Chains A and B, each alone.
Chain A
Amino acid sequence: MPREVIVRTINLKKTYMLGKIPLPVLKGIDLEILRGEYISIMGPSGSGKTTLFNMIGGLDKPTEGKVYIDEVDIAQLDAYELAWLRCRKIGYIFQTFNLIPVMTALENVMLPMIFAGMSTDDAREKAKQLLETVGLGDRLHHKPFELSGGQQQRVAIARALANDPAIILADEPTGNLDLRTGKEIINLLRQMNKEKQVSIITATHDLKMLDVSDRVIWIRDGMIERIEDRENLDIRVGHVEGEEAG
């Protein structure tokens, strides 16, 4: 049985205006991402990764082309439906963690559930569970600044999973972490991907990510350069890991 397509982009283009000069950042991206897939979008900085990420996440509007999430054209959604989509369908993880600084880990994870209309008690219960799953059961009442980078990113992962989204979008999730912590976070993402069948889309230039991805989409200058399946990646990964070990 063919797997369900969860994200589809058709001829996606984005042009920013630098004063009066148009600067094309995405030049026509066609993508299909399946439910439960782990996708890495790789590319040098300035290649349009983050822009693509923002389009898929409904955080920014394309200049041309379409984005379908779960077969819904997100350009057709009004502000309310878009907020609902962000709340229920998509979980976001950022390079800079972006936890709410005045809230504890537990409250940060509870927030999207409160928005989704869950009662405070239920939300607290589920947030506790999620934080235990990401290995922070003993850090529930710590504020973000009392946590290490890796721990903050774990809280962010728990928060992204709060409303059982279909997709998790992670923009450079390991960008601010050291090698080992970065690996832990990648493994945690992979584990969540397997356990909860949530599609994970990461924009990254962290080569450690290749190891766990089902497919890697290479982007250069706003175009898809190539898409590689996991099987074809093995040799390259070996090479990269060898480099790290040395």
Chain B
Amino acid sequence: MDKKIERQLSLPLKNAFQMSLRNFRIRFGRAIIVTMSILLGIAFFMSVMTSNSFTMALIEKGPENIKTILIENLEEIKVRQKWLVSLSLLVCTVGIINSMLMAVTERSREIGTMKCLGALDRFIMELFLLEAMIHGIGGSIVGSFLGVLIMTVVYIFQYKKIIISIFPVLQILKYIGISIILGTGLAIFGSIYPAIVSARMEPAEAIRREV
């Protein structure tokens, strides 16, 4: 029994989180690139959602003349939007995979060293996924607010003050929530493959690799 306890290897979540956060802070330049791809994807998603919310609010509470124009184009716009949003999120995920793979290659020696010090494959994966989560949460929070802001400005230019009086607060908060979950989910999803690549590296080979 004693032997079993002695044989434990561990990386407490708190330490792992600190390490990931530090990686994020110190490699800020690189981190920003990953975060940016989430930020932009989510900002686009959120701007579309905000625009939808405004449109629906205008149809419900807006003046008659605007209502008729909007209802006419509604269906066509919705189809096009779905296509655009999925495409942008796809591009954003590919961006994450790409930059995380670069991060793995860049840090291969570090990964090899950690393995020499007794890190299990699981620890390495954990570190990369936690880092992705930080990118995801940060990027999608900033991105979603950016999206709302931009669309609000655009609508205010077009429809003037009506927008402020019909501002669909609850609807938009709901979409912000969805964006954050979506953005974090995509960041983690996009990092699964790079994390597996990093975890499977053989220590001797990882250390030898020069980047």
Contact = CB atoms under 8 A, between A and B. Distances in A.
Contacts of B115: 83, 86
Given A84-B9, A92-B116, A159-B117, A102 B123 contact: no
Interface stretch (A34-42, A109-117, A132-140, A229-237): A109-117
Interface stretch (A68-76, A93-101, A192-200, A203-211): A93-101
Interface of A: 54, 57, 59-60, 79-81, 83-84, 86-88, 92, 94, 96, 98-103, 111-112, 114-117, 120, 159, 163
Contact of A100 (B9, B114, B118): B114
B114 A116 contact: no
B207 interface: yes
B71 interface: no
B202 A60 contact: yes
B5 to A, nearest CB: 8
B117 A102 contact: no
Contacts, number: 76
A115 B202 contact: no
A87 B117 contact: yes
A100 B113 contact: yes
Given A83-B115, A98-B113, A115-B118, A103 B22 contact: yes
A159 B202 CA distance: 21
Interface in B176-205: 202-204
B60 interface: no
A163 B23 CA distance: 25
A67 to B, nearest CB: 14
Nearest to A59: B204
B207 A94 contact: yes
Interface stretch (B10-18, B47-55, B75-83, B149-157): B10-18
Nearest to B27: A102
A115 B123 contact: yes
Contacts of B15: 114, 120
A60 B208 CA distance: 12
Given A54-B204, A60-B202, A98-B109, A115 B11 contact: yes
B211 interface: no
Contacts of A60: 202, 204
A94 B121 CA distance: 21
B170 interface: no
Task: Name the residue in A59, A80, A163 with the highest tally of chain B Cβ atoms < 10 Å from its Cβ.
Answer: A59
B120 A83 contact: yes
A80 B9 contact: yes
Nearest to A101: B110
Contacts of B202: 59-60
B21 to A, nearest CB: 10
B26 interface: yes
B8 interface: yes
B161 interface: no
Task: Name the residue in B7, B121, B123 with the highest tally of chain A Cβ atoms < 10 Å from its Cβ.
Answer: B7
B207 to A, nearest CB: 7
B118 A87 contact: yes
A86 B207 CA distance: 15
B116 A117 contact: no
A38 B26 CA distance: 39
Given A102-B27, A115-B9, A83 B110 contact: no
B85 interface: no
20 contacts: A59-B203, A59-B204, A79-B121, A86-B116, A86-B117, A86-B203, A87-B118, A92-B116, A98-B109, A98-B110, A98-B116, A100-B110, A102-B23, A114-B12, A115-B9, A115-B11, A115-B118, A115-B119, A117-B8, A120-B15
B69 to A, nearest CB: 56
Given A102-B22, A103-B22, A116 B204 contact: no
